[in-house]
Amino acid sequence: MQIFKCKDKLSHTLKEISESKTIGFVPTMGAIHDGHLKLITSSNSECDITVCSIFVNPTQFNNNNDYKKYPITIDEDLKKLSKNNCTIVFIPTANNIYENNIKSKRFDFGNISNVLEGKFRPGHFDGMATIVEKLFDIVKPTKAYFGEKDIQQLQIVKLLATKMKTNIKIVGVPTVRESNGLAKSSRNKLLSEKEKNQAKYIYKCLKYCKKNKNLSFSTLKKYTTKKLKTYNIKLEYLEIVNLEDMKFIKKLGPKNSNAICIAAYLNNVRLIDNIIL
């Protein structure tokens, strides 16, 4: 496994490789977990080589405390990536990748970026799209892999790839979960074992909503709010959306065309999840 810290050296190496091989790309912010490793495995199965980036992107955090407490576990990450046959790891500094101008671009993704995470984390998707665009320009992958846990991000990245007029295929990979149903997330490192046990009720509520999707949405939301409150979890949002444009809906479409999205706080840790309908 090769490790690069300079974008120019990586770009030069990948340009030579791309002449004869397909490149799979998995962008991460580190704190590698089984969800990330599933992305690596998916890339390995479909592409000749796999590139993984580790970069905690400052411009996609609307809360500076959230940025400061984001877990950094580089040594552990590299061991996991090597064990799972990642070919190349890119670990840039903020100044290297932003060229000493650490600012977000402004994107117009329409409604899709103004709701849910876009509403509650202003500027988040501009920051995310800024770094993904930069990474796509450096790596120039054949395919890029993103987890379905961040379903809104996945849809925006697809839109970004179209706007960039690239031939990069964006691949969504199903959410990996703990044995109790909690979605794998780097933020889980901030939870105690007791809190992880409490947090499992987020997914339990999503499963209840899916099973009872014919009930009114207000009934489902009341149930979820009350259930989570029992376990000291504060609901931030719960919405049923059309997957393609993330518009809120009241009437369900064909199977696999909608999702229930949720965000909630367990103490100071913010957790998101979704379930496809």
What was the pLDDT predicted at 143?
99
Sign of CA dihedral 52, 127, 261, 181: positive
pLDDT single digits (tens) 188-230: 999 999 999 999 999 999 999 999 998 999 999 999 999 999 9
CA angle 45, 78, 94 (to 5 degrees): 105
More confident residue, 256 or 54: 54
More confident residue, 192 or 68: 192
Among 12, 33, 36, 124, the active-site one is 36
Domain with CATH 3.30.1300.10 in the chain: 186-271
Mean pLDDT on 170-176? 98
**pLDDT score of 255 more than 90:** no
Cβ neighbours around 100 below 10 Å, total: 7
Q: Which residues have a Cβ under 8 Å from the Cβ of 213 and sit 6 or more positions away?
A: 220, 252, 277
**pLDDT score of 76 more than 80:** yes
More confident residue, 210 or 65: 210
What was the pLDDT predicted at 63?
84
Domain with CATH 3.40.50.620 in the chain: 2-173
Fold for domain 2-173? Answer: Rossmann fold (3.40.50)
Of the chain, the end-to-end C-alpha distance in Å amounts to: 39
What was the pLDDT predicted at 65?
85
3 state SS of 140: coil
Cβ contact 106:126 at 8 Å:
yes
Band of residue 251 on the pLDDT scale cut at 50, 70, 90? confident
More confident residue, 207 or 251: 207
**Farthest-apart Cα atoms in the chain, separation:** 57
What was the pLDDT predicted at 250?
78
Mean pLDDT on 129-154? 98
Mean pLDDT of the chain: 96
Residue 124 annotated as catalytic: no
Mean pLDDT on 103-128? 95
What was the pLDDT predicted at 85?
98
Fold for domain 186-271? Answer: Pantoate--beta-alanine Ligase; Chain: A,domain 2 (3.30.1300)
Percent of the chain with pLDDT over 90: 92
Give every strand in the sheet of 169-173, ordered side by side: 2-4, 88-90, 49-54, 23-28, 143-147, 169-173
